Structure 1
Amino acid sequence: MSELWLLTAILVALVAGLVSGRANPASLFFFAGLASYLLGLVSLDTALAGFTNNGLITLVLLVLAATALEKTSLLGKLSQAISKGSLTLTLAKLGVSTAVLSSFTNNTAVVASLIGVVRRNQAHAPTKLLLPLNYAAILGGTLTLIGTSTNLIVNSFVENAGLKPLGFFEFTSVGIIVVISGLLLLIPLAHLLPDRRDETDDEALPYLLEAHIAKNSKLVGKSVQDNRLRALKKLYLVELERSGIRICPVPPQLVLQADDVLRFSGAVESVELLHQFDGLNWFGKQQAKGQNLIEAVLAPSSSLVGTSLKDSRFREEFDAAVMAIRRGHQPLKGGLGDIELQPGDVLLLTPGDSFTKKPRLADDFAAISGLDLSVRLDNKRGHWVLFGFALTIIASIAGIIPLAKGLVVLLLSFLAIGAVTVSELKRRFPLELVVIVGSALGLANLMISTGLADVMAQGLLEVFDGYGVFAAFVGVYLMTVIVTEIITNNAAAALSFPVAYALAMSYGVDPRPFIMAVVFGASASFISPYGYQTNLMVFNAGNYQFSDFVRLGLPLSLVYSAAVIIAVPYFFPF
């Protein structure tokens, strides 16, 4: 009984940490697993066993193989063909092609590759395309075993429980219904999304910029109005700091002094306006040498979250200076270097020569635009990457070679032809994902072995007492969906699987439909922009508001849930 209470305390602390967002999920799962070992709940061999799970190894190999896939021209050519035609036709082509692509490749790579072209298209507003693009990628991930990391993670739990592994196309029957019903809803609803192209040209992107008045500046001794600092297009003077005292709003007749700090809010292109003022040293000016600016979106799991630019020593760590910060449509206040960074913040950077070589880029940023971090492969190598990947998948489906073994051979061939390098693979190695999944496998096993999963299942049984096994199935699905929206999809799968398995055992029925409830529930991250990485990517790229996600995501979540709840019991009887 003491083991059960100890594990309960560990899991409560884990969930509280995930919900608060004060630490990244990998750290939380690692310390939860470590606490389980130190408190004697699990042996060292058992604790480490989760990190050698076949499903986890396959997932890591797929992520590494995607490094070469992202360098091919396939996604670029496809995106150019998609953007032609009416909005309805464009949405249909975009939805179908994205869903198919994300069923076989990493959906984050698909979304990242298509964002740029969608934003640059002249025919349709990006706000009407980017959110449907994101949702189509999520829907497509439910079609196959490798469509999303969640499917492979759940398969790891299935294998650990001694059950028959999930088949490559075992999800497809339900997935097709989900994709079709989802796209039929998305296409008409996307027409209702706002066209923010005009707003983007005005003040829709409130970057916070900071500038310091030098002692020899010609601005000194003249008022704000005389210096024409209130007549800047797309740039608004929101605050002046003098000797530690902040003045907001700034009076037009206020005379400027040396060492005054000026803070502006405005669009990204307005940065150039600061060049016209002699003796105005804006944040990051010393590193600006005519290079292209970069927009970098802060990832939810970034080590920078919760810190300021000063405390993180950003320039030394990344060889880049932060010129401005944007947080959605929320105006920021205070010193640029003192702002506590949050997931989804967009940093406007002036990169140094070694910026692209920094190993933490993939871990700390969900997306980087303005600079192509990977050079496209030539046609010969690009064709081999696509052919080799397709051949590996087909060989696995046909039972000729296990997927993990095929991916090892594929990666070796990529290294041999120079499609990827060892340093690239090191940089892209998904260490945080490995920590989360490996630790989660151990915690899931503990929940089952200590009886905690049975206790939680009995609690759900009491809730659904008299309503039958179908109601319990619906309860597991809804529990997983809610946890996914609150924390992350992978964490939701890890916490829901043991309860779903124990509940199926309590009813004495086939656990497959309950497993599918976890699989599809963990992928249903539609309402919150913070629930999934691609949500966060399009949230900033499309200048969306939280209400846009609710407007499109809530109806989609309802239709998706109805399709899953009806289709899963039909294809996977209890």
Structure 2
Amino acid sequence: MSELWLLGIILSGLICGLIAGVATPAALFAGASLLTYLLGMQGLEAALASFTNASLVTLVLLVLATTALEKTSLLGKLSQVIGNGSLTLTMAKLGFSTALLSSFTNNTAVVASLIGVVRRNQSHAPAKLLLPLSYAAILGGTLTLIGTSTNLIVNSFVENAGLEPLGFFEFTAVGVVIVVSGIALLVLLANVLPDRREDQGEESLPYLLEAHVAANSALVGRSVQDNRLRALKKLYLVELERSGIRICPVPPQLVLQAGDMLRFSGAVESVELLHQFEGLDWFGKQQARGQNLVEAVLAPSSMLVGTSLKASRFREQFDAAVMAIRRGHQPLKGGLGDIVLQAGDVLLLTPGDGFAANPRLVTDFAAVSGLDLNVRLDSRRGLWVLSGFALTIAASLTGLLPLTKGLVLLLLSYLAIGAVTLAELKRRFPLELVVVVGSALSLANLMLNTGLATNLADTLLGVFDVYGVMGAFVGVYFLTLLLTELITNNAAAALAFPVAYAVALHYGVDTRPFILAVIFGASASFISPYGYQTNLMVYNAGNYQFSDFMRLGLPLSLLYSAVVLFLVPILFPF
């Protein structure tokens, strides 16, 4: 079998694995790259060389630098825009502020810092603002080269292909139009999203809680109805397990026995209702000592994904007990400790003393509300962190100092003043991102060298060639957009770039428009909550349904695509 067919089979398996979510993107990309080495399709030196790409090193340094930026008051001050003004004014201020910050700092950090503020706002329902918040962060990433990791990943492919690297503000003109028009559309559609402040029933907040009837409980010997277990506000008894047998629905006249396991579905504020029943030991009760509860959103890269609470020994690992679990609007069934966790699950925790200092919080959870995970820097060090970052970017733009060298010096200065520690940098090192990009670079080289990229480009051209180079440009953009919605933005960019490059070579035209088609297409994740991490973060925090993403995301995606497809060929002619 030729190398071309072997590589095609490996990449097909990679795409299927990404869509099905059988493993993390890092594991799948690493596995595919390793397989090409074991099959003799590339040498060890060639495979490892991809991990020393200059843009990849810059990306790692930027991620580490944002560790200090997140400790400044900058993100905290952004929360002041959530005021008592009208929904239109609040959304406009929130949108433009978020987009501006996301153009040079980690958009995940921006969204995570504002989720709690938005949810506590008394003037507007969180569901009205959280999804626009995520979209504004995505739009802001299109403003600069460092606006999102995807831009730098594509730049690494550009440099690897021997092309001129992308400029810091090279595509800012397109990004500005995208941000202004996109946020204007979000403001116009402000009332499209539902106000769910009054819609907090079983369907809107299906937390799964579990409680055990103790032997000395006053509930024993009385029926469900007599114990008033069916009259709890915003808390519904959905299942009873007795001697391994699950009873669902639970008959009102069923008499409770010692050892019965009761499972409830309801709102987070209903947890305290379980306190009124003597002899009812709910999950996590032993660790509850009057402390504030914490909600934690499971990150896609978490080691907990695919395991149960029991198997992961969650309490020992995090010094926290899980009181309840919520998975979007999907009702959960079965034992709380036996549920196989998925990315985006919200865990309601009673934290122990060591929970806040656990180094795994930043890697296993996309957002943790109820805790200030980063201690704010004092004004003197905070000022240096912000001004030092601005000076580094300015030195790079004026040609005084390469960005990579400037970031190295900046990180050393952060360490010197105590803004970050080596332990923090070790915890925040983006290992999964490095694995994805490094592996993708080696796979992209193979796609180009074996001719697979050319074959895929020919297939794409077979559909769009009748429309000429403009048709091919549109085809590349929508291919990248589709991959972004199906898998993730970074993986989509890695898979689409070789095809885009081959299409440009086929026509003998400037590669820039096709490169930008990949950049903008990979950031166009508006229709699915799973294509971009900030979407996943607000999905549960705002109690959204998938239809909400379609309702607001589809018009935004159409407008975004129209701007890109119209402006890029004008500003970057073929």
Shared topology, TM-score over 0.5? yes
CA deviation vs aligned residue, 1:223-248 (integer Å, no higher than 9, x gap):
11222212212111111110011111
Q: CA deviation at 1:86?
A: 1.4
Question: What corresponds to 1:120 in structure 2?
Answer: 120
Q: CA deviation at 1:82?
A: 4.2
CA deviation vs aligned residue, 1:399-429 (integer Å, no higher than 9, x gap):
1111111111111111111111111111111
CA deviation vs aligned residue, 1:74-126 (integer Å, no higher than 9, x gap):
22122213434211111111111111111111111111112121111111111
What is the distance in 2 between the residues matched to 1:203 and 1:40? 53
Aligned residues: 574
Question: What corresponds to 1:187 in structure 2?
Answer: 187
Question: What corresponds to 1:215 in structure 2?
Answer: 215
Query: Is 1:174 aligned with 2:174?
Result: yes
Matches within 5 A, 1:205-284: 205-284=205-284
Query: Is 1:102 aligned with 2:82?
Result: no
Q: CA deviation at 1:191?
A: 1.9
Matches within 5 A, 1:521-560: 521-560=521-560
Question: What corresponds to 1:200 in structure 2?
Answer: 200
Q: CA deviation at 1:372?
A: 1.2
Query: Is the contact between residue 300 and residue 343 of structure 1 (CA under 8 Å) also seen in structure 2?
Result: yes
Question: What corresponds to 1:405 in structure 2?
Answer: 405
The one-letter amino acid of 1:77's match is K
Q: Secondary structure at the match of 1:464?
A: helix
Question: What corresponds to 2:488 in structure 1?
Answer: 488
Q: CA deviation at 1:201?
A: 7.7
Question: What corresponds to 2:56 in structure 1?
Answer: 56
Query: Is the contact between residue 465 and residue 471 of structure 2 (CA under 8 Å) also seen in structure 1?
Result: no
Q: CA deviation at 1:522?
A: 0.2
What is the distance in 2 between the residues matched to 1:10 and 1:359? 35
CA deviation vs aligned residue, 1:310-331 (integer Å, no higher than 9, x gap):
2222222222211100011221
What is the distance in 1 between the residues matched to 2:110 and 2:554? 23
What is the distance in 1 between the residues matched to 2:389 and 2:84? 29
Query: Is 1:472 aligned with 2:472?
Result: yes
Q: Secondary structure at the match of 1:295?
A: strand
The one-letter amino acid of 1:453's match is A
1:407/1:171 CA distance change after superposition, 3 Å: same
Query: Is 1:158 aligned with 2:155?
Result: no
Query: Is the contact between residue 80 and residue 117 of structure 1 (CA under 8 Å) also seen in structure 2?
Result: no
What is the distance in 1 between the residues matched to 2:465 and 2:188? 40
The one-letter amino acid of 1:419's match is A
CA deviation vs aligned residue, 1:362-390 (integer Å, no higher than 9, x gap):
22211111111111111111111111111
Uncovered stretches (5+) of structure 2, i.e. residues with no partner: none
Q: Secondary structure at the match of 2:471?
A: helix
The one-letter amino acid of 1:128's match is K
Query: Is the contact between residue 203 and residue 329 of structure 2 (CA under 8 Å) also seen in structure 1?
Result: no
Query: Is the contact between residue 202 and residue 265 of structure 2 (CA under 8 Å) also seen in structure 1?
Result: no
Question: What corresponds to 2:325 in structure 1?
Answer: 325
Deviates more, 1:161-170 or 1:386-395: 386-395
Query: Is the contact between residue 190 and residue 552 of structure 1 (CA under 8 Å) also seen in structure 2?
Result: no
What is the distance in 1 between the residues matched to 2:323 and 2:275? 13
Query: Is the contact between residue 203 and residue 267 of structure 1 (CA under 8 Å) also seen in structure 2?
Result: no
RMSD: 1.3
Question: What corresponds to 1:41 in structure 2?
Answer: 41
What is the distance in 2 between the residues matched to 1:547 and 1:363? 29
Deviates more, 1:525-534 or 1:112-121: 112-121
Q: CA deviation at 1:518?
A: 0.2
Q: CA deviation at 1:180?
A: 1.5
Q: Secondary structure at the match of 1:356?
A: coil
Q: Secondary structure at the match of 1:155?
A: helix
1:528/1:281 CA distance change after superposition, 3 Å: same
The one-letter amino acid of 1:137's match is A
Query: Is the contact between residue 203 and residue 234 of structure 1 (CA under 8 Å) also seen in structure 2?
Result: no
What is the distance in 2 between the residues matched to 1:111 and 1:355? 22
What is the distance in 1 between the residues matched to 2:115 and 2:386? 21
- The 4+ residue runs of structure 1 with deviation greater than 3 A are 200-203
What is the distance in 1 between the residues matched to 2:224 and 2:462? 69
Q: Secondary structure at the match of 1:246?
A: strand
Q: Secondary structure at the match of 1:129?
A: helix
The one-letter amino acid of 1:176's match is V
What is the distance in 2 between the residues matched to 1:98 and 1:374? 19
TM-score, normalised on structure 1?
0.98
Question: What corresponds to 1:369 in structure 2?
Answer: 369
Query: Is the contact between residue 83 and residue 90 of structure 2 (CA under 8 Å) also seen in structure 1?
Result: yes
Query: Is the contact between residue 200 and residue 234 of structure 2 (CA under 8 Å) also seen in structure 1?
Result: no
What is the distance in 1 between the residues matched to 2:436 and 2:359? 20
Question: What corresponds to 1:300 in structure 2?
Answer: 300
Q: CA deviation at 1:202?
A: 7.8
What is the distance in 2 between the residues matched to 1:5 and 1:71? 49
TM-score, normalised on structure 2?
0.98
What is the distance in 2 between the residues matched to 1:485 and 1:222? 52
Query: Is 1:78 aligned with 2:78?
Result: yes
What is the distance in 1 between the residues matched to 2:180 and 2:80? 23
Query: Is the contact between residue 139 and residue 178 of structure 2 (CA under 8 Å) also seen in structure 1?
Result: yes
CA deviation vs aligned residue, 1:438-479 (integer Å, no higher than 9, x gap):
111111111111111011111122222332000000000000
What is the distance in 2 between the residues matched to 1:310 and 1:243? 19
The one-letter amino acid of 1:343's match is A
Identity %: 78
The one-letter amino acid of 1:472's match is A
Q: CA deviation at 1:65?
A: 1.0
Q: Secondary structure at the match of 1:253?
A: coil
Matches within 5 A, 1:313-392: 313-392=313-392
Query: Is the contact between residue 201 and residue 266 of structure 2 (CA under 8 Å) also seen in structure 1?
Result: no
The one-letter amino acid of 1:286's match is Q
The one-letter amino acid of 2:406's match is G
What is the distance in 1 between the residues matched to 2:199 and 2:378? 39
What is the distance in 2 between the residues matched to 1:76 and 1:130? 16
Question: What corresponds to 2:88 in structure 1?
Answer: 88
Query: Is the contact between residue 480 and residue 493 of structure 1 (CA under 8 Å) also seen in structure 2?
Result: yes
Question: What corresponds to 2:450 in structure 1?
Answer: 450
1:189/1:427 CA distance change after superposition, 3 Å: same
Query: Is the contact between residue 292 and residue 371 of structure 1 (CA under 8 Å) also seen in structure 2?
Result: no
What is the distance in 2 between the residues matched to 1:354 and 1:153? 36
Q: CA deviation at 1:203?
A: 6.3
Deviates more, 1:413-422 or 1:350-359: 350-359
What is the distance in 1 between the residues matched to 2:526 and 2:278? 48
The one-letter amino acid of 1:342's match is Q
Matches within 5 A, 1:137-156: 137-156=137-156
